[in-house]
């Protein structure tokens, strides 16, 4: 769809960014020491840190991605919510306090606190960098995709705006301003989503009646089009419904965009979709609904969603057909209604494995994300770490409940853009009024700012503190540590911008899923065994981190989806049976750690476990 | 903060840390069972998930909400347990 520049959106947006930058400069005065730069002096109050957890964690993937997935496909987006939140249980009950006890600034500090091993420092620093980069790419892509329709500018500019703003934030003040940005973002997100949810429930559901008889679903529908003298016949299963005919979007080899075979413009554009065609009891509208009523009503309704079919043109262009699909609410509100998770409903055990593996990755991944873990160093003590995790869980959990309503509201608001799932939440807001649209979009943007700041912090810590100071043994006084940290942040910011531009056509949620798989495979076995098994040796940890990271990375790069979307090769040539490696690579990490530790364990060396107790 | 002053800091008392860690692991085990139940039902008994026990809302949604609430409840229980001397 075509969006135009909106002054109100721009002003609200600019206002938010200005406030954030102002805070960053103001707080920057207090971050002169290394402890200040990396760990905010360890003085962040637990409540602030808890909300900052939420702000840090609820990235574009959570807010835009999950909402969008629910809006298009129903329940399956909610699966991500459940998995993401469950991961916090791992963080709270298994990781939070031990990690606080062990480390100084970074995740590598924690894993290495007993051994002082260069191998560990190197392996963990690299894994932190890899995970942070994989997590950064979808954020930047998300920023680009978001800013383009909001402000009517190209996605490349959106990526650059995010990149520069974040660099300024991180270079000027480090963890203190990052924390406050995330605190603000976290609060705003929850508050505005709550407001939107209330508005959705108040609005209720309305039927958009069908005026013409629709063709039987499953009928082959043929288009004949004349392009440059060549007649092309497109065959498609579709049911044209009044006002919602099958539409097409063509990208020609020289980059022009055609909608329904004519150049795309404000007048000739894809029509939005997402309506209810039948309510229970034959009602035409429901009026305000309670939260449970809303869901139960939807379950008994019929909803029009959009189906997609991609076909390659003989001249090398690509045409995507969007056609209306009527679905029962009860079908949409069950796992397996989306392409990603459709395997759950099949009888094939392997297809179910993909679902199980993803749920495992999400469960284990949260606690393994370096940019979440370093947030534990910003509070004073373990009790504070515990309390802030609790606040984080409460706000994140509440938020995920809200996104379910936002997604379902978007699904039935008649305003969805068939080409872009990520715009569902902002477009939902727009269906109420323009001001709300501007505000939600600005919040979504600061969402990306917050997450990218946190990621760059983790990355800059890995480079300056773990790699340079500890591994390469570059001598640094306190001032130099901060300087190198900021330099690393600058480089990472630029790298992130470049990668974001390179990857800007890829699916955001999929990339985030990768990051979770890699984080869990590389970090979780090492962390858990270090904390709970006496015979863990430094070689064991190094091997586990290296093998976990490399195996999950290799699995992903050889998976059918990457074959298709990145290399442009035939999916069936891949030998990988399912797309998410966690089910295989996490146990592999544990196995490698155990085997290598047993092989290298010497009775004379202090067991890791005992030393942890004495700390 | 008042509560930081009137109880022993766990950081200084390894036996309290160890006890808290045990509580954590037990509560974690409870959650794992709940989560695994959800995964198992969704994958292997999907028709059960479409039943509507109460409120007209199906089990898939209720179980999903339930997991979110359970996370919070368990976290609260943990906080309370850790405070006891």
pLDDT of residue A124: 85
pLDDT above 70 as % of chain A: 78
Contact B11 A101 (CB under 8 A): yes
Whether residue A491 lies within 8 A of chain B, CB to CB, comes out as: no
Q: Which residue has the higher pLDDT, A360 or A157?
A: A360
Interface of A with B in 362-401 (CB under 8 A): 363, 380-384, 386-387, 389-390, 393-394, 397, 400-401
CB A310: neighbour CB atoms within 10 A?
9
Instruction: Give the confidence band of A375 by pLDDT, cuts at 50, 70, 90.
Output: low
Number of CB pairs < 8 Å for A and B? 136
Q: What is the mean pLDDT of residues A483-509?
A: 77
pLDDT of residue A550: 93
Q: Which residue has the higher pLDDT, A32 or A532?
A: A532
pLDDT of residue B38: 92
What CA–CA distance (Å, rounded) separates A577 from A564?
Answer: 14
Contact B39 A359 (CB under 8 A): yes
DSSP-derived secondary structure letter, A272? P
Query: Which pair of tokens denotes residue A428?
Result: 């939902």
User: In this predicted model, what pLDDT tens digit does every residue of A421-477 receive, in sequence order?
Assistant: 778 888 898 888 878 887 887 777 777 777 787 778 777 877 777 777 766 777 777
Contact A86 B31 (CB under 8 A): yes
Q: What is the mean pLDDT of residues A333-337?
A: 86
CB A272: neighbour CB atoms within 10 A?
18
The DSSP annotation for A55-104 comes to HHH--HIIIIIIHHHHHHHSTHHHHHHHHHHHHHHHIIIIIHHHHHHH-S
Residue in A88, A94, A330 nearest the CB of B50: A330
Contact A397 B61 (CB under 8 A): no
Residue in A89, A299, A352 nearest the CB of B71: A89
* Residues across chain A: 615
Instruction: Give the confidence band of A242 by pLDDT, cuts at 50, 70, 90.
Output: very low
pLDDT of residue A544: 93
Q: Is the pLDDT of residue A321 over 70?
A: yes
pLDDT of residue A5: 73
User: In this predicted model, what pLDDT tens digit does every residue of A94-111 receive, in sequence order?
Assistant: 777 677 677 656 677 777
Q: Which residue has the higher pLDDT, A42 or A599?
A: A599
Contact A98 B21 (CB under 8 A): yes
pLDDT of residue A30: 58
Q: Is the pLDDT of residue A234 over 80?
A: no
How far A384 CA lies from chain B's nearest CA (Å)?
Answer: 9
Residues of chain B with pLDDT under 50: 1-8
Query: Which pair of tokens denotes residue A440?
Result: 């939600």
Q: What is the mean pLDDT of residues A319-341?
A: 82
Residue in B28, B46, B78 nearest the CB of A334: B46
Query: Which pair of tokens denotes residue A102?
Result: 């062990």
Q: Is the pLDDT of residue A594 over 90?
A: yes
Residue in A344, A384, A393 nearest the CB of B42: A344
pLDDT of residue A137: 81
Q: What is the mean pLDDT of residues A204-222?
A: 56
How far B80 CA lies from chain A's nearest CA (Å)?
Answer: 11
CA nearest B62 in A: which residue? Answer: A292
Instruction: Give the confidence band of A343 by pLDDT, cuts at 50, 70, 90.
Output: confident
What CA–CA distance (Å, rounded) separates A84 from A400?
Answer: 9
Q: Is the pLDDT of residue A553 over 50?
A: yes
- State how far the alpha carbon of A405 is from the alpha carbons of A19, A38, A414, A468, A497, in Å: 30, 37, 15, 47, 33
Largest separation between any pair of C-alpha atoms in chain B = 54
Domain ranges of chain B: 13-83
Q: What is the mean pLDDT of residues A16-32?
A: 67
pLDDT of residue A403: 92
In this structure, what is the dihedral angle of CA atoms A494, A495, A500, A503, given to the nearest 10 degrees? 150
CA nearest A347 in B: which residue? Answer: B44
User: In this predicted model, what pLDDT tens digit does every residue of A247-304 receive, in sequence order?
Assistant: 777 777 777 787 776 777 777 777 788 888 888 888 888 889 888 889 988 988 888 8
ipTM (interface predicted TM): 0.86
pLDDT of residue A239: 40
- Best residue in A74, A83, A334 for a mutation probing chain B (most B CBs within 10 Å): A334
Q: What is the mean pLDDT of residues A580-591?
A: 92
Q: Is the pLDDT of residue A607 over 80?
A: no
Q: Which residue has the higher pLDDT, A419 or A239?
A: A419
Instruction: Give the confidence band of A217 by pLDDT, cuts at 50, 70, 90.
Output: very low
Domain ranges of chain A: 220-348
Provide the mean pLDDT of chain A: 77
pLDDT of residue A220: 46
Q: Which residue has the higher pLDDT, A327 or A158?
A: A327
Largest separation between any pair of C-alpha atoms in chain A = 83
Lowest-confidence segment of A290-294, A337-341, A490-494, A564-568 by average pLDDT = A564-568
From A87, A103, A138, A51, select the one nearest A514 (Cα to Cα): A138
User: In this predicted model, what pLDDT tens digit does every residue of A171-203 receive, in sequence order?
Assistant: 766 666 667 777 887 888 889 899 999 999 999
Q: Is the pLDDT of residue A216 over 60?
A: no
Instruction: Give the confidence band of A613 by pLDDT, cuts at 50, 70, 90.
Output: very low
pLDDT of residue A249: 77
- State how far the alpha carbon of A175 is from the alpha carbons of A113, A141, A454, A455, A563, in Å: 22, 24, 8, 11, 39
pLDDT of residue A223: 56
Contact residues on chain B for A344, CB-CB shorter than 8 A: 42-43, 46
Interface of A with B in 275-334 (CB under 8 A): 292-293, 295-296, 299-300, 330, 333-334
Q: What is the mean pLDDT of residues A53-62?
A: 77
Q: What is the mean pLDDT of residues A76-83?
A: 88
Interface of A with B in 189-218 (CB under 8 A): none
Q: Which residue has the higher pLDDT, A359 or A320?
A: A359
Secondary structure of residue A324 in the 3-state scheme: strand
Secondary structure of residue A234 in the 3-state scheme: strand
How far B25 CA lies from chain A's nearest CA (Å)?
Answer: 6
Contact residues on chain A for B10, CB-CB shorter than 8 A: 97, 381-383
């Amino acid at each position: 769809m075509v969006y135009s520049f909106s002054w109100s959106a721009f002003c609200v947006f600019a206002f938010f960014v200005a406030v954030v930058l102002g805070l960053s400069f103001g707080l920057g005065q207090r971050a002169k020491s290394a402890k200040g730069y990396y760990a905010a002096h360890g003085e962040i109050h637990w409540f602030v840190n808890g909300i900052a957890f939420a702000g840090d964690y609820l990235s574009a993937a959570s807010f835009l991605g999950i909402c969008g997935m629910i809006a298009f496909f129903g329940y399956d987006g909610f699966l991500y919510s459940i998995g993401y939140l469950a991961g916090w249980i791992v963080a709270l009950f298994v990781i939070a306090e031990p990690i606080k006890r062990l480390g100084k600034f970074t995740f590598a500090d924690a894993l290495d606190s007993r051994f002082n091993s260069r191998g560990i420092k190197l392996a963990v620093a690299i894994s932190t960098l890899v995970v942070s980069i994989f997590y950064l790419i979808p954020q930047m892509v998300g920023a680009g995709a978001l800013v383009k329709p909001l402000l009517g500018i190209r996605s490349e500019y959106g990526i650059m705006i995010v990149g520069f703003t974040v660099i300024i934030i991180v270079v000027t003040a480090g963890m203190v301003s990052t924390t406050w940005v995330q605190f603000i973002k976290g609060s705003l997100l929850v508050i505005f989503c709550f407001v939107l949810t209330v508005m959705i429930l108040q609005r209720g559901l309305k039927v958009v009646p069908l005026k013409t008889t629709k063709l039987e679903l499953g009928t082959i529908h043929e288009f004949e089009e004349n392009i440059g003298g060549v007649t092309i016949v497109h065959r498609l299963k579709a049911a044209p419904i009044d006002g919602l005919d099958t539409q097409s979007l063509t990208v020609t080899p020289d980059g022009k965009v055609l909608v329904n075979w004519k150049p795309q413009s404000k007048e000739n554009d894809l029509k939005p979709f997402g309506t209810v065609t039948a309510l229970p009891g034959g009602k035409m509208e429901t009026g305000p609904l309670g939260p449970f009523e809303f869901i139960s009503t939807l379950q008994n309704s019929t909803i029009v969603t959009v189906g997609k079919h991609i076909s390659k043109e003989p001249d090398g262009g690509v045409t995507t057909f969007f056609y209306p699909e009527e679905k029962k609410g009860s079908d949409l509100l069950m796992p397996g209604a989306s392409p990603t998770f459709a395997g759950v409903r099949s009888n094939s055990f392997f297809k179910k494995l993909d679902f199980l593996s993803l749920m495992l990755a999400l469960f284990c991944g949260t606690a393994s994300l370096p940019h979440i873990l370093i947030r534990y160093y910003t509070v004073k003590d373990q009790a504070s770490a515990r309390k802030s995790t609790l606040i984080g869980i409460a706000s994140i959990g509440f938020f995920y409940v809200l996104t379910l309503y936002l997604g379902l509201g978007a699904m039935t608001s008649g305003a969805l853009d068939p080409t872009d799932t990520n715009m569902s939440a902002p477009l939902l807001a727009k269906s109420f009024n323009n001001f709300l649209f501007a505000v939600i979009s600005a919040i979504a943007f600061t969402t990306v700012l917050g997450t990218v700041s946190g990621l760059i912090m983790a990355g800059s810590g890995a480079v300056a503190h773990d790699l340079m100071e500890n591994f390469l043994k570059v001598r640094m006084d306190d001032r130099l540590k901060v300087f190198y940290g900021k330099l690393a942040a600058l480089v990472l910011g630029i790298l992130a911008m470049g990668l974001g531009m390179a990857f800007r056509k890829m699916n955001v949620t999929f990339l985030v899923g990768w990051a979770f798989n890699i984080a869990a495979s590389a970090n979780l076995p090492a962390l858990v065994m270090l904390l709970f098994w006496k015979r863990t040796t430094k070689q064991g940890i190094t091997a586990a981190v290296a093998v976990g990271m490399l195996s999950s990375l290799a699995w992903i790069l050889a998976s059918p989806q990457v074959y298709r979307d990145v290399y442009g090769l035939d999916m069936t040539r891949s030998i990988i049976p399912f797309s998410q490696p966690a089910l295989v690579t996490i146990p592999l990490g544990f196995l490698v750690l155990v085997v290598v530790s047993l092989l290298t364990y010497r009775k004379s060396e202090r067991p890791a476990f005992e030393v942890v107790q004495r700390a | 903060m008042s509560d930081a002053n009137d109880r022993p800091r766990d950081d200084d008392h390894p036996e309290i840390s160890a006890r808290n860690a045990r509580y954590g692991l037990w509560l974690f085990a409870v959650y794992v069972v709940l989560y695994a139940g959800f995964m198992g039902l969704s994958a292997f008994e999907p028709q059960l998930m479409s039943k509507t026990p109460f409120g007209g809302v199906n089990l898939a949604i209720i179980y999903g909400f339930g997991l979110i609430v359970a996370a919070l409840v368990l976290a609260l229980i943990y906080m309370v347990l850790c405070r006891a001397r």
